[in-house]
Amino acid sequence: MKKYDVLIIGAGIAGLYAAMQLPKSKKVLVVCKDIPWECNTFYAQGGMSTALNEADISVHVEDTMAAGAYHNDKEAVEILSRTSLVTTPDIISQGMEFDTDEEGNILYTKEAAHSTERIVHAGGDATGRYMHYFMMVQNKHQLQKNTLVYDLLIEDGRCYGVKASVNYRPTTIYADDVIIASGGIGSLYAYNTNSRTISADIHGICVEKGIELSDMEFMQFHPTVFVDTPYARKLLLTEALRGEGAHVVDDDGNRFLFEYDNRGELASRDIVARGIFDYKRKTGKNAYLDFSMFEEKWFEHRFPNITRTFGALGYYFPKDKVSISPAFHYANGGIKCDTYGCIEGMEGLYVIGEAARTGVHGANRLASNSLLEGMVFAKRAVDHLLGKEQIVLKTPEFEKDYANILHKDNDKTYKHKLRQVMWDDIGIIRTTQGLHEAKNLIYDMKNREIGRLLELRLNTASAIVDAALARKESLGSHYMES
Binding site for ligand SIN (CB under 6 A): 44-46, 238-240, 329-330, 367-368, 370
CA–CA gap between residue 375 and residue 341 (Å, rounded): 12
Decide whether 163 or 234 has the Cβ nearer to ligand SIN.
Answer: 234
Q: Of the residues 118, 129, 233, 269, which is catalytic?
A: 269
Nearest to ligand SIN of 12, 451 (CB atom):
12
Complex with ligand SIN: residue 247 or 452, whichever CB lies closer: 247
Measured CA to CA, the distance from residue 162 to residue 182 in angstroms comes to 13
**17: alpha, beta or left? (left if phi > 0; alpha if psi -120 to 50):** alpha
The count of other CB atoms within 10 Å of the CB of residue 291 is 23
DSSP letter assigned to residue 478 = B
Please tell me the total number of residues recorded for the chain in this structure.
482
Measured between alpha carbons, how far is 50 from 38 in angstroms, rounded to an integer? 25
d(CA 210, CA 186): 22
User: Would you report the helix, strand and coil content of the chain in percent, each value rounded to 5?
Assistant: 40, 20, 40
Shortest separation between residue 236's beta carbon and ligand SIN, angstroms: 6
> Among the residues of 244-392, which ranges form H helices?
269-283, 296-302, 304-312, 369-387
Q: Which residue is nearest to ligand SIN (CB)?
A: 46
Indicate the residue among 28 and 272 with the shorter CB distance to ligand SIN.
272
CA distance 354 to 52: 23
Q: Which CB atom, from 64 or from 139, has the smaller least distance to ligand SIN?
A: 64
Q: Which residue, 63 or 239, is less far from ligand SIN as judged by CB? A: 239
Burial status of residue 23 (CB atoms within 10 A of its CB: 0-12, 13-18, 19 or more): exposed
Dist. CA 331–CA 422, nearest whole Å: 13
Grouping H, G, I as helix, E, B as strand and the rest as coil, residue 5 is strand
| Selection from 442, 471, 482 nearest residue 217 by Cα | 471
Nearer Cβ to ligand SIN (111/217): 111
Provide the 3-class DSSP secondary structure of residue 462: helix
Nearest distance, CB of residue 185 and ligand SIN, angstroms: 15
Tell me the C-alpha distance between 225 and 238, whole Å.
Answer: 8
Query: Where does residue 168 fall: left (phi above 0), alpha (psi -120 to 50 degrees), or beta otherwise?
Result: left
DSSP strand pairing (334-336 vs 213-214): antiparallel
Residue with Cβ nearer ligand SIN (141 or 478): 478
Q: Least distance (Å) from ligand SIN to the CB of residue 364?
A: 11
Q: How far is the CB of 241 from ligand SIN (least distance, A)?
A: 8
Nearer to ligand SIN, 49 or 462 (CB): 49
Q: Torsion angle of alpha carbons 397, 458, 355, 58, nearest 10°? A: -150
CB of 365 to ligand SIN, least distance (A): 7
**Element housing 142 (H / E):** strand 142-144
Known active-site residue 365: no
Kindly state the smallest distance separating residue 372's Cβ from ligand SIN, in Å.
Answer: 9
Say if residues 131 and 48 touch (Cβ distance below 8 Å): yes
Query: Least distance to ligand SIN from the beta carbon of 117, Å?
Result: 15
CA-CA distance, 385 to 379, in Å (whole number)? 10
CA dist 423 and 443 (Å) reads: 17
> Which residues are catalytically annotated?
269
